[in-house]
Structure 1
Amino acid sequence: MRKYWDLIIVIALSLILDLVIFIAPESIIRKALGLIFVLFLPGYVFITALFPERKELDNLERLALSFGLSIAIVPLIGLALNYTPWGIRLKPILVSLTVFNVAFSIIAIYRRANAINPWIPWISIEDLKRELEWEKASKLDKALTVILLISIIVSIGVLIYVVTHPKPGEAFTEFYILGPKGKAADYPTKLFVNETGRVIIGIVNHEHRNVTYYVEIWLVNLTYNFTTNETIIHEMYLMNRFNVTLPSIPVNIEGNWTPQFEMNYTFKIDKPGKWQIWFLLFKDKEPPIPKECLMGANCLSEKWRIIEAINGTIQSLKLNVRVIEI
């Protein structure tokens, strides 16, 4: 077994990483093993299987090719998965790379067993000096070699730090409305006077912090002057408002999307015409609303809310509703 210790370790590390991902997916062990699993092991087993004889490549060439080929093999496996029903997801990638590492490790063991003078990794200080031709090198070459080795070590250290301390993703909030069946369809866009319309309001927090959301629902009658590029608001009424505090949840790109907060909202419009229902979303603090707006009066003093929503300053959604008399 001592003859194949490196390949046995490759198989063991691949299987251990699979186990760690399912048991402790956020652990530092996963990140450390994941780096080796992706950036080194595929190329290493491939090179070892391809060149089992000691004379074919020296240690430094094998090390460099292991990194280089890993960077080439992993994207190719991902490209192949893209054309399968499984797609480029965590589990298919994990299984594919594990199968690749184990399969080529077994091939490498077979090839090494039949080699005349097999290459078995074991590097001493004397071997390293000999491969670098240390004794024959000038002082300048020795200095450049030391600088190169230090640069490689520092680069690997920086890479490990970047991977183990990832920068938080973009902070954002999902804000949406769905039809009564929970789909982005069948919205109540045509109603009779005082007929009940129903939508589902949804919010998902990806802000990396707890956020209190304030939702305002306004009934608006407006027209747009194309000559002056001006929005003219004739009427606007506060239909409803509520708030909810949500914890931040990570973006799930590997599994199915799931809602965080959803609320059924029903409404009636007692005047015929072409109306717009605006859903405005505020974070942490809601701008004050005049008392007359809370009493159901026409609240043109707050038309800035709709103007800013149209301009994209306020996160908002809009539902066009045509109301006809019975």
Structure 2
Amino acid sequence: MRAHQWMGDLLLTILFSALAAVGILIVDVTIAPVRVALALPLVVLLPGYAFVSALFPDPPTEDGAGFGTLERIALSVALSLAIVPSIAYVANFSPYGVTLLPIAVATVAWTVLFSLIGLLRRARRPPEDRYGVGGRAVGTVAGLFTVHQRRRGETPAPFEPENQRHVLLNVFLVFSLLALVAGGAYMAFAAPSLPAEEPHTELYLLSENEEGELTTTDLPTDLSGGETAPITVGIENHEGETQSYTAVVYQQEVVLSDDGQDVEGVESETELDRFETTVEDGETEQIGYDIGPTTDNDVYVWVLLYEGDAPDDPSPEDADQTTRLAFTD
């Protein structure tokens, strides 16, 4: 057997895996058909094919024992659909989480590693005992749907139909594999078109607990008029670019319902303070501030956040982000 006959399939597997890694991770191909062509084999075929090749370096025997090309492909698809989700599950415990980078890198590494193991195991076999992709694959596929007449005592090959019922089972098997591949193709096609995270900003208030940790559960809400307490204003920028912000501290003196749950009216509104900051994309700015009501009446003290400059007459209704503390009896 010539070298290309027993090495070609696994060398091609390694080459394609490397090409897919470059196209998906480095070049970041976004053209849907190209992305599908790169991602689909890497998801539904190659990891399982490399694993099967490492486990079974021998060709099928004359009596039908072992795995031929068709059986290897079927088993490879089934194994790939178990291997890749397992890699994703393990990636969940990595610092990167279930994201494209760790899953793609681990899948390519798995495929290359077991392809090399498969090549090594085949190389250690005598030439006649090395599996190689022959020219009988088409005939093997056609044989799935043809009832074979065998001599007495002859062992049937895997998936070889002995009657029409077996032919129907093979039809169902091929249909199931095609459905799995189509599902993988759909996911590979849909993934690039899924909407990215919408640009947004997060605003929240924090205060120190007894252990000195910042938390949202111990905010000061029992202050009297004129008293202040330290808080931390947190601003997270997910806008996709560096963003400047203006924060306005704004007080409303409110009239509450008897149960204290609803605002029946607003008696006065006052701007207490404002400050500006700039936050890099993906970063969080935490600003210390002393906050408190100016009166003993029922008061809401708001932090209103605006992208860019704040208007001269701010209000909770026109702010980009809002949060508040309620100082009520």
- Fold shared per TM-score above 0.5: yes
Aligned to 1:253: none
| Amino acid corresponding to residue 97 of structure 1 in structure 2 | T
Q: In the superposition, relative to structure 1, how do residues 220 and 41 fare at CA in structure 2: closer, same or farther (>3 Å)?
A: same
8 Å Cα contact 1:177-1:184 kept in structure 2: no
Per-residue deviation, 1:105: 1.0
| Amino acid corresponding to residue 162 of structure 1 in structure 2 | A
| Amino acid corresponding to residue 323 of structure 2 in structure 1 | L
Matched, 1:93 2:103: yes
Inter-partner Cα distance in structure 2 for 1:156 and 1:194:
61
Per-residue deviation, 1:135: 8.7
8 Å Cα contact 1:7-1:105 kept in structure 2: yes
Aligned to 1:162: 190
SS at match of 1:120: coil
8 Å Cα contact 1:179-1:188 kept in structure 2: no
Q: How does 1:174-193 map to 2 (within 5 A)?
A: 174-179=201-206, 190=223, 193=226
Which of 73, 83, 86 is residue 76 of structure 1 equivalent to?
Answer: 86
Aligned to 2:283: 258
Per-residue deviation, 1:215: 7.5
Aligned to 1:254: none
Q: In the superposition, relative to structure 1, how do residues 226 and 12 fare at CA in structure 2: closer, same or farther (>3 Å)?
A: farther
Inter-partner Cα distance in structure 2 for 1:93 and 1:155:
18
Which of 133, 150, 167 is residue 121 of structure 1 equivalent to?
Answer: 133
- Alpha-carbon deviations, 1:265-311, whole Å to 9, x = none? 8878543455322245799xx9xx9x9xx4x9xxxxx9xx68xx9xx
Q: Which runs of 5+ in 2 are unaligned?
A: 61-65, 149-160
- Alpha-carbon deviations, 1:106-133, whole Å to 9, x = none? 2211232316443322456752454334
Q: In the superposition, relative to structure 1, how do residues 236 and 201 fare at CA in structure 2: closer, same or farther (>3 Å)?
A: farther
8 Å Cα contact 2:207-2:215 kept in structure 1: no
Q: How does 1:120-139 map to 2 (within 5 A)?
A: 120-123=132-135, 126-128=138-140, 130-133=142-145
SS at match of 2:283: coil
Q: How does 1:1-326 map to 2 (within 5 A)?
A: 1-2=3-4, 3-28=6-31, 32-55=37-60, 56-82=66-92, 88=98, 90-113=100-123, 114=125, 116-123=128-135, 126-128=138-140, 130-133=142-145, 148=175, 158-163=186-191, 165-169=192-196, 171=198, 173-179=200-206, 190=223, 193=226, 200=233, 202=235, 204=237, 218-222=250-254, 224-225=256-257, 227=259, 230-239=262-271, 258-259=283-284, 270-273=294-297, 275-279=299-303, 294=313, 316-320=322-326
Q: In the superposition, relative to structure 1, how do residues 180 and 221 fare at CA in structure 2: closer, same or farther (>3 Å)?
A: same
Q: Which runs of 5+ in 1 are unaligned?
A: 250-256, 297-301
Q: In the superposition, relative to structure 1, how do residues 214 and 48 fare at CA in structure 2: closer, same or farther (>3 Å)?
A: same
Q: How many residues align?
A: 288
RMSD (Å), alpha carbons: 5.3
Per-residue deviation, 1:70: 0.9
Per-residue deviation, 1:92: 4.0
| Amino acid corresponding to residue 38 of structure 1 in structure 2 | V
Per-residue deviation, 1:42: 1.1
TM-score in terms of structure 1 length: 0.61
Q: In the superposition, relative to structure 1, how do residues 35 and 77 fare at CA in structure 2: closer, same or farther (>3 Å)?
A: same
Taking only the aligned residue pairs, the percentage that are identical comes to 23
Inter-partner Cα distance in structure 1 for 2:55 and 2:49:
10
SS at match of 1:54: coil
